[in-house]
Amino acid sequence: MTLAYDLQGGGHLDLRSVFADIAADLSDVEAYLARLLDEGPLVVRAVASHLLQAGGKRLRPALVLFGAKFGTYVYEDVRKLAAAAELIHMATLAHDDVIDRAELRRGQPTVHALWGEQTAVLAGDYLFAKAFSLLSEVPVGKVVGIMADVVYRMCSGEIAQNVQSRENALPDEDQYLDRIAQKTAVFIAECCRAGAAATGAAPDVEQALYDYGYAMGMGYQIIDDLLDLTAEPKALGKAIGADLRAHVITLPVIHGLRQSQRRAELQQIAESHDVTGESVMTAREILGQSGSFSYAEELAHRFIETAKRSIQPLMDLPAKASLLAMADFVLERQT
């Protein structure tokens, strides 16, 4: 199985330099995932191969490994945890693309576009089950509970988003922040915490890493939502405005609805269930005029600064420098 993960982020940083301290172990996690998934049913092997080859930044297993560096680091003790984190992420991608009716991810056809919705859902379920089978083998038992809570919170966030979309409701900023906390930030935070827990780090270290991951995850998702409206489609790997097309209302739109002199026009687009490419470009123009992109970027910047402050008290290990660099990468990335 050929492996691929995206180490480019645009700007002055890339993940190759950020991941230097864990590069060998992260590469081994990638190979370990491939071996694990080659053991499944034929269709699951095909789906897993497609997901792995499509790439991804592998942030979650990397954060597990970085978190583990603040305890007594033994790679063999955290490999299964790091792999499980990526399996959970892969499962959510398979399911999310079905819910969003997305045809492309990272420039490649989605699982449900190639194999159908039923196979995509079942493959996602298989990946979840495989992840928790691995977690049950991790020496520190509490990581199972940590990751079970992650899945619970992500499902809660997805349900809330689905209800809002179905009812054609427009969320306010607090509702948006709560949603992205559940869908993204808690998972990233718990990857950091679980890595530390698996290697016996002190409770205050676990908490500092959790706080870092939570704030970094909030910033990451805000930038992700911003790129959905501002990035070049080729760089993004899909058409821009995917969130608007799926009736997922993100921070720039929320700000524009509050501040733009063309809010009625923007609201008509946001409430439509038939958003065209022309509508997306109109929304982008409105949001640019109202300063909504700058507002979202500034809030993401504040979250990233909070993340960096959270780990300042930790020992000055190479992993700490890498986490600080990763926070900067979040702000600079273009995909």
Mean pLDDT of 127-135: 93
Question: How far from 64 is each of 67, 185, 243, CA to CA, in Å?
Answer: 5, 14, 29
- From the list 327, 326, 323, the residue with the least C-alpha distance to 70 is 323
- Give the pLDDT band (50/70/90) at residue 6: very low
Specify the residue for token string 């950020």: 18
Residue scoring higher pLDDT (67 or 334) = 67
Please check the confidence at residue 57 and state whether its pLDDT lies above 90: no
Distance CA 112, CA 124 (A): 11
pLDDT of the residue at 4 = 41
Query: How is residue 154 written in tokens?
Result: 């992500």
Output the average pLDDT for the chain.
88
Length of the chain: 335
Residue 47 corresponds to which tokens in the numbers above? 């789906």
pLDDT at 90 over 50: yes
The rounded distance, in Å, linking the Cα atoms of 114 and 292 is: 36
Residue 218 · residue 185 · CB < 8 Å: yes
Distance between first and last Cα of the chain: 25
Considering 9-13, 86-90, 99-103, 108-112, the range whose residues carry the highest mean pLDDT is 86-90
Token digits of residue 235: 């760089």
Lookup: tokens for 84: 């499980």
Dist. CA 142–CA 81, nearest whole Å: 12
Burial of 155 (0-12, 13-18, 19+ CB in 10 A): middle
pLDDT at 100: 66
Cα gap 216→67, rounded to integer Å = 14
Contact 218, 177 (CB under 8 A): yes
Please indicate whether residue 272 or residue 12 has the higher confidence score (pLDDT): 272
* The two structure tokens encoding residue 220: 């990451």
pLDDT in tens, 236-246: 666 789 899 88
Counting runs of H as helices and runs of E as strands, what totals does the chain give? 18, 2
pLDDT in tens, 164-190: 777 767 899 999 999 999 999 999 999
Q: Which amino acid is at 316?
A: D
User: ∠ at Cα 68 (67, 72), nearest 5°?
Assistant: 140
Percent of the chain with pLDDT over 70: 91
User: For position 104, what pLDDT does the model report?
Assistant: 66
pLDDT at 160 > cutoff 80: yes
Alpha helix (H) ranges present in 231-276? 233-236, 242-245, 251-259, 263-271
Confidence of residue 47 (pLDDT cuts 50, 70, 90): confident
pLDDT digits (tens, 9 = 90+) for 275-320: 999 999 999 999 999 999 999 999 999 999 999 999 999 999 999 9
Q: Is the pLDDT of residue 251 over 70?
A: yes
Q: What's the pLDDT at 55?
A: 64
Q: Which residues contact 303 (CB under 8 A, 6 or more apart)?
A: 215, 216, 218, 219, 222
Contacts for 81 with CB less than 8 Å, ≥ 6 apart: 64, 68, 134, 135, 138, 143, 194, 195, 198
149 pLDDT higher than 90: yes
**Cα separation values, 257 from 119, 162, 271, 289, Å:** 38, 20, 11, 12
What's the pLDDT score for residue 73? Answer: 94
Whole-number percent of the chain with pLDDT over 90:
62
DSSP assignment letter at 238? S
In this prediction, residue 273 carries a pLDDT of 83
Q: CB-based contacts of 252: which residues, under 8 Å, 6+ apart?
A: 225, 226, 229, 287, 292, 293, 295, 296
d(CA 247, CA 162): 9
pLDDT reported for residue 7: 43
Q: Alpha-carbon distance 161 to 145, whole Å?
A: 24
Predicted pLDDT at 141 = 76
pTM: 0.90
CA distance 273 to 194: 40
Query: Do the Cβ atoms of 199 and 73 come closer than 8 Å?
Result: yes
Query: Would you say residue 335 has pLDDT above 70?
Result: no
Q: Summarize the confidence of residues 229-255 as an average pLDDT.
A: 85
Taking the CB of residue 167, how many other CB atoms lie within 10 A of it? 8
Residue 105: DSSP 8-state: E
Q: How far is CA 105 from the centre of its chain?
A: 13
